[in-house]
Structure 1
Amino acid sequence: MKIAFVGKGGSGKTTLSSLFIRHLVANEAPVVAVDADINQHLGAALGLTDEEAAALPALGAHLPLIKEYLRGSNPRIASADNMIKTTPPGAGSRLLRITEDNPVYEACARTVPLDDGDSVRLMATGPFTESDLGVACYHSKVGAVELCLNHLVDGPDEYVVVDMTAGSDSFASGMFTRFDVTFLVAEPTRKGVSVYRQYKEYARDFGVVLKVVGNKVQGPEDIEFLQDEVGEDLLVTFGHSDWVRAMERGRPAGFDLLEAGNRLALQALQDAAEDSYAARDWGRYTEQMVHFHLRNAESWGNAKTGVDLAAQIDPGFVLHEALVSPRPAPLPAPQPA
């Protein structure tokens, strides 16, 4: 299942993303973590040093490789140069799985060790650099993430967790429709809930499952405020955490020592994600890909590539887990002679 964390800058969404990732890994779930925020802090929140986080490969820098691999033998795409961030898969395209090894992961992902001996596969868009100023927008970098999500087939026991750009920046492409559930992290303040209202309005016509996660909650008044402002969209709240404070100082204890209330909140996030995935409509999911591809093609893609990108759409193709071979079952134990 695909999960996004969004929220205004400073709301704590990266911290909660990292806690949720640790929770899933501790429960032995396969996870791919993606840092798609303009401020690249997810690696550090997962325990990397500043130097290690800076050394992560940038997805955007490997876009030609990603396109060429995903294009596969799709006859509707004559060249990887003709692919844009919204290009949907079709017959002959290569699809990604969470647990496999492939050239995309080899070039763009790194295995990050966690505190308790576990690890997680992490990919990052890469930071906004000085050379980008005045000539590029950050959405061009997250295009590689959208292309991968469009070609990724995930199962009910597998997770992609994406730490997204803050606020309404998520709506610069169709990537906001790629998730089974979007967790919007909101502080119990007017500014905190204003991002929720904006996101809710933008997403209302696209069937986006939006759940609010209250953060930095100090007491019943904060909870009451969030309930009044967001209603039934409020899923759960997080309060003060000595464990998080220690993590932010670079001295985390074992994850099993995270406060019981906050561990229960993380389980509530996982339960909500599982419920949402169970209701996924693969046909609608594919239709939304096509919708945003046509919009981008008409707006700028056709002019940039010099081809009619609508021709890339395979009308008979529906992305679905059944399109890829299941993970092989373990071999049976040998029987005594």
Structure 2
Amino acid sequence: MLVNYLRLLLLPFSLIYGLAITLRKKLYDWGIMRSVKFDLPIICVGNLAVGGSGKTPTTEYLVRLLGDYKIAILSRGYGRKTKGFILADATATAETIGDEPLQYHQKFEDVTVAVCEDRVAGIEKLKENHDLIILDDAFQHRAVNAGLNILLFEFRKLGTLQFLLPAGNLRDIFASRKRADILLVTKSPVPLLHVAQQASVNELQPNNNQPVLHSYLKYGDLQHLYNNECRTLDSINDFEIFLLTGIANPAPLIEELEKYSKAVKHEEFADHYAFKEEDIKKFKSAFDKGVKKDKIIITTEKDSKRLKAAGFKDLLVNLPVYFLPIEVELFEEDKITFDELILNYVKSNRRNR
């Protein structure tokens, strides 16, 4: 909490940052800076804040929805130690392509996954052999004129006072939402009351052609980090849970786990954090000192990619360490609207090949 108050001292820098991105936005709007349009469907999944809005499970939802097409996912590859265009293959690790692209690559064998800081250059390399390209986290990358922009907003943060970087977590001005084709509110409560739905619409003030749709998180079964063992969340009732995360917003995950146990001990790191051996040793020591007989280590699917890549197997292999997969689902009427918008866009913009 103290850190949040100290960040308010940075408000003058947020003002300068806001002026800079507003000017950049105008340069693109006026055509002074060039935005490239491509002759195949390009779907951009993005948000205005730094991390935590659910872009990864939303991208995975799109992949499942569009399974009849040859898809490429193009990401910047945040947190990787490489540069330039890289195509994911059997040798890919979180260090070479980033944790989220690695998750896509390992989950969808028929989907091409690539990383490149320059999205235009990346699309040029992918466009000939694919029916469509999904841009992961590229709403601010105005050099590409995406055909369909899906902009994500986390439900619990709507209606709260948010500041631009560095005083806050917004990397773009709120007015930029007007560029989006679909406004998707994520991590909504279940059930979602009509008054809460309407509150989202009132906050976002969409254009007449901008649908405001709502999604929620659906949790899967726990999966062991090193083998094929799975177990349900019901099976860990009253366990002592040692939670290890390096994601932007672990609050929804903690809320889910607290449905099964009140003994959740959370070791929190920054988003995309590169775990170190001393971190894991300290965490393992805390687990060993756990007071309950029934205890378990849980991490996120994204974090599991970095844990496996970093060579911690000797420290963790004999422990009950699992990751919890999540999926995005939309409420019934919103799902019909969303799916129809996506499928119609791809069908009507697909090249004759």
Higher relative contact order (CA 8 A, sep 6+): 1
TM-score greater than 0.5 by the shorter chain: no
How high is the TM-score relative to the length of structure 1? 0.44
More helix per residue: 1
More strand per residue: 2
How high is the TM-score relative to the length of structure 2? 0.42
